[in-house]
Amino acid sequence: MNAMKNALLLLCFSLVLPFPLTTSVRLTLREGSSLSVDKPDDTLTSEDSAFAAGFYPVGENAYCFAIWFSKPSCSIPNCTVVWMANRDQPVNGRSSKLSLRKNGDLVLIDADRTVVWATSTGSSSGSSMKLLQLLDTGNLVLRDEQHVISWQSFDTPTNTLLPLQNLTRNTPLVSHRSKNNFSSGYYRLYFDNDNLLRLLFSGPKITSIYWPNPWLNSWDAGRTSWNDSRVAILDPYGNFTSSDDLKFLTSDYGAKVQRRLTVDYDGDVRVYSRSEGEEWSVSWQAKSDLCTIHGTCGPNSMCTYHPREGRSCICAPGYERENPSDWTQGCKPKFNSFCDSKVETEFVELPHADFYGYDKGVFFKMFTLEMCKKLCLDLCNCLGIQYKNWNCYPKLLLLNGQYSPGVEGGIHFRLPKSNLSSYKLPRIEYAALQCPANEVLLPRTYVKRQESSAIKILLIFVGAIAGTEAIVVLTVWCFLHGTSREKGRAHIDGYHAGPTGFRRFTYDELKKATRNFSEEIGKGSGGTVHKAVLSDSRVAAVKRLLEANQGENEFLAEVSTIGNLNHMNLIDMWGYCAEGKHRLLIYEFMEHGSLAENLSSPTELDWSKRFEIAVGSARGLAYLHEECLEWVLHCDVKPHNILLDSMYQPKVADFGLSKMLKREGLKDSGFSRIRGTRGYMAPEWIYNMPITSKVDVYSYGIVLLELVTGRSPTGGLANTEGGDENESKRLTSSVRERKRTGIPMETWIKEIVDPRLTGEYDTRMVGVLVAVALQCVEEDRDARPTMRQVVEMLLRCSDEDEDEMILA
């Protein structure tokens, strides 16, 4: 019995023992031997057993030769793989093997004996013996006995960079295809031709760079393209340095833990760290906003945030999913191409949506929404437009879509008119806008003017304006076509060629020209104005912007647009200065100061001057509103901003400053800052209604009444400031009532007209002026005329007296 027991035991041992023996840790592979896929435990291990190399299952009966983290021990397939030899060509799960041939070539042989992968290190000369070894760094090396390395896995990375592994010009990292598919994916971390380390989406149909932000130049992205060594490395402590100056320390810098830098299949690059007994955690990542990674959602679909999934994709309105299991294929239209069939189309706006790139040519500057839509309709392959900050981007492809509350602007999708109602707009939830219709925030700034004790009230209305209307906007400029007008019209409208001398001034130059800003000639919204004599002896007015916290580029963009506005009734800008925190604007000097000053002085302005001023400033404003490709709203029309030259010709000043004056506490959008001056402000400001060019018309109407009556809407005579809304109401309603009473025009006009005119005026023309003014100050903005109509009405009236003025 016992003997039999012992014999059985022996038999058992002899059956069991060989396994531990054959699976004993293998540290090297010698020439002539191989690792077989048939023996799952047949692996190569690093000396510290942190890494293992062997066959790794990637699908059903499909294997790749791989390296993975093996400490703490993991069970396949739950290990963290850091490298693969043949990820795009897995081998059979039977009879495949990795062999180190006698000639020194390392080859991966599939079941059918084909060589799937090789290191091409074979030599016929049978030099020194080679062996394959997995180093503690995770580097699989083929070396000879003198430790000369002829091949290393570090030189052919897949999606992961390990500490001390060089990322070079020849070794991009390419993501996996998906969580469970280890094939080469679409995302690539590589050194571009300009020596910059970038992230690229390289899909089946399109490629685009998304990191660093493609619209940044290398300098702004904190990189340099001057170092062409193109090498980056992560040290074991979490210090990453790249030759393009990209440097970062991981959030757990210094700790002795396992690390890896991986281009994940979602397109982000992350550094993961893991200390003993823990899961991997992210200690650095390139993009925190996953929806800004390109290619995520495929064509015609938009990336959006999902509370659980992190992000998800939705089809654009009018489109449906191409492949229910693969978002990268995006969505397909539910309608036929507009090029194939002539269908009537319509635009549907989806706010907070954006599709990056793939516009028709470059974008079109200073377009109205209508012009932009027209542009799109004229192209049969145009799918919609993006309309942002008065720029028009017709979209021929809808790619890299994003849909999130943080996205500025929106997309106007072009869809067949017939089925319009059936195309649902997706919705996103976002916090209600800050300003309900009846709430008006009134941060007030009182600027005390020292010379006169009058208080200048500067009211800043803040209103977040939401909405789909082409609402508008404080400051939008247009580039001018002023010089290419027909002559006759040009004469009437007062166009003239722009100044040639627009230039940049240095701060020192201006300091000298203004004698250290000693002569202050005005103080207004946003800054003080000083008289200056330029080096070419021109007399100028230099405005120092006090609140301009704007970046230099942004400032220059604004300035150059203002500088491009040329009209004889708009103040000329000669130049600017942007140095450090200094922001100054240089204007032509206006001899007779502002209309406000003139109205407060006893004599100067006779009737004909007043009428000229009315017509001239209307022209200037009409030009801003309508002659440009888009509105430039002035938003602060008042006698202080109408300046008079030596001939008492009016020039509108201070337009277009709003955007340069970044008010504290207000985000930069430029759309939410509203300003104006009490007494001249249209009701829209107060009721937080959409702001259109009609706000300027209203203010202009008040100025007209002031010109006629000599009374300021801010109380009493012009220039005695400090009144309020009621005062301007009183002014308008008293004029309106007198006009209505049916008493003869001569009589009521006599009652309202400025006594300083001493009866010298043309009753009929005053009558027209008053009628126009009252129309301009209608509460209902739609009842107000446009500035162009105002100019016409005024000219028609003067017409009858001075025919040539129009015809010439």
Ligand X SMILES: *[C@@H]1O[C@H](CO)[C@@H](O)[C@H](O)[C@H]1NC(C)=O
Taking CB under 6 A as the binding criterion, the range among 199-207, 348-356, 414-422, 451-459 that sits at the site for ligand X is 414-422
Taking CB under 6 A as the binding criterion, the range among 15-23, 117-125, 239-247, 582-590 that sits at the site for ligand X is 239-247
Residues facing residue 98 across a β-bridge? 35, 108
Least distance from ligand X to the Cβ atom of residue 675, Å: 47
**Comparison of 335 and 517: residue with beta carbon closer to ligand X:** 335
Taking CB under 6 A as the binding criterion, the range among 256-264, 387-395, 413-421, 742-750 that sits at the site for ligand X is 413-421
CA separation for the pair 794, 797 (Å, rounded): 5
**Comparison of 164 and 717: residue with beta carbon closer to ligand X:** 164
CA separation for the pair 298, 288 (Å, rounded): 20
Is 481 within 8 Å of 495 (Cβ atoms)? no
Q: Of these residues, 245, 636, 696, 754, which one is catalytic?
A: 636
Least distance from ligand X to the Cβ atom of residue 350, Å: 19
Q: Under rule CB under 6 A, how many of the chain's residues touch ligand X?
A: 23
Out of 227, 275, 381, 434, the residue judged to bind ligand X by CB under 6 A:
227
Q: Does 780 qualify as catalytic in the annotation?
A: no
Out of 6, 28, 418, 553, the residue judged to bind ligand X by CB under 6 A:
418
Least distance from ligand X to the Cβ atom of residue 254, Å: 9
What are the C-alpha distances in Å from 37 to residues 42, 109, 397, 630? 8, 10, 47, 70
**Comparison of 80 and 241: residue with beta carbon closer to ligand X:** 241
Binding map of ligand X across residues 317-346, x = CB under 6 A, - = no contact: ------------------x-------x---
Q: Are strands 301-306 and 401-403 parallel, antiparallel or unpaired?
A: parallel
Site for ligand X in 50-79 (CB under 6 A): 58-59, 75, 78
Out of 330, 416, 524, 563, the residue judged to bind ligand X by CB under 6 A:
416
Taking CB under 6 A as the binding criterion, the range among 49-57, 227-235, 383-391, 769-777 that sits at the site for ligand X is 227-235
Sign of CA dihedral 469, 473, 476, 482: positive
Least distance from ligand X to the Cβ atom of residue 163, Å: 10
Out of 231, 435, 521, 717, the residue judged to bind ligand X by CB under 6 A:
231
Out of 243, 561, 600, 712, the residue judged to bind ligand X by CB under 6 A:
243
Out of 61, 229, 323, 337, the residue judged to bind ligand X by CB under 6 A:
229
CA separation for the pair 745, 712 (Å, rounded): 22
Out of 89, 103, 241, 528, the residue judged to bind ligand X by CB under 6 A:
241
Q: Are strands 115-118 and 130-134 parallel, antiparallel or unpaired?
A: unpaired
Out of 23, 337, 419, 741, the residue judged to bind ligand X by CB under 6 A:
419
User: Amino acid identity, residue 738?
Assistant: R
Taking CB under 6 A as the binding criterion, the range among 412-420, 427-435, 460-468, 607-615 that sits at the site for ligand X is 412-420
**Tokens describing residue 419:** 């089925």
Taking CB under 6 A as the binding criterion, the range among 416-424, 539-547, 661-669, 774-782 that sits at the site for ligand X is 416-424
Least distance from ligand X to the Cβ atom of residue 317, Å: 13
What are the C-alpha distances in Å from 640 to residues 52, 592, 593, 654, 731? 80, 12, 9, 9, 18
CA separation for the pair 406, 351 (Å, rounded): 10
Least distance from ligand X to the Cβ atom of residue 168, Å: 8
Least distance from ligand X to the Cβ atom of residue 337, Å: 11
Binding map of ligand X across residues 115-154, x = CB under 6 A, - = no contact: ---------------------------------------x
**Comparison of 177 and 512: residue with beta carbon closer to ligand X:** 177
Is 241 within 8 Å of 248 (Cβ atoms)? no
The H-or-E segment that residue 607 falls in is: helix 607-622
77 upstream amide cis, omega within 30 of 0? yes
Taking CB under 6 A as the binding criterion, the range among 226-234, 509-517, 765-773, 800-808 that sits at the site for ligand X is 226-234
Least distance from ligand X to the Cβ atom of residue 159, Å: 14
Say which residues have a Cβ less than 8 Å from residue 610's Cβ, sequence separation at least 6.
707, 708, 757
Least distance from ligand X to the Cβ atom of residue 806, Å: 51
Taking CB under 6 A as the binding criterion, the range among 161-169, 364-372, 486-494, 528-536 that sits at the site for ligand X is 161-169
Q: Are strands 81-84 and 258-263 parallel, antiparallel or unpaired?
A: unpaired
Binding map of ligand X across residues 475-494, x = CB under 6 A, - = no contact: --------------------
Angle between helices 607-622 and 787-799 (to 10 degrees): 150
Least distance from ligand X to the Cβ atom of residue 346, Å: 12
CA separation for the pair 685, 488 (Å, rounded): 38
Is 160 within 8 Å of 167 (Cβ atoms)? no
Least distance from ligand X to the Cβ atom of residue 92, Å: 13
CA quadruple 530, 534, 538, 541: dihedral, nearest 10: -20
Binding map of ligand X across residues 166-195, x = CB under 6 A, - = no contact: x----------x---x-x------------
What are the C-alpha distances in Å from 454 to residues 457, 520, 525, 674, 717? 9, 16, 15, 24, 12
Residue 105 sits at φ, ψ, to 5 deg, of -95, 130
CA separation for the pair 435, 379 (Å, rounded): 39
**Comparison of 227 and 741: residue with beta carbon closer to ligand X:** 227
**Comparison of 183 and 734: residue with beta carbon closer to ligand X:** 183
CA separation for the pair 612, 663 (Å, rounded): 35
Which of 332, 334, 312 has the alpha carbon at shortest distance from 321?
Answer: 332
Which of 15, 74, 19, 61 has the alpha carbon at shortest distance from 42?
Answer: 19
3-state helix, strand, coil in the chain (%, to 5): 25, 30, 50
**Comparison of 313 and 707: residue with beta carbon closer to ligand X:** 313
**Comparison of 164 and 795: residue with beta carbon closer to ligand X:** 164
* Cα 53–Cα 55–Cα 61 angle in degrees, nearest 5: 165
- List the catalytic residues: 636
Binding site for ligand X (CB under 6 A): 58-59, 75, 78, 154, 164-166, 177, 181, 183, 227, 229, 231, 239, 241, 243, 249, 335, 343, 416, 418-419
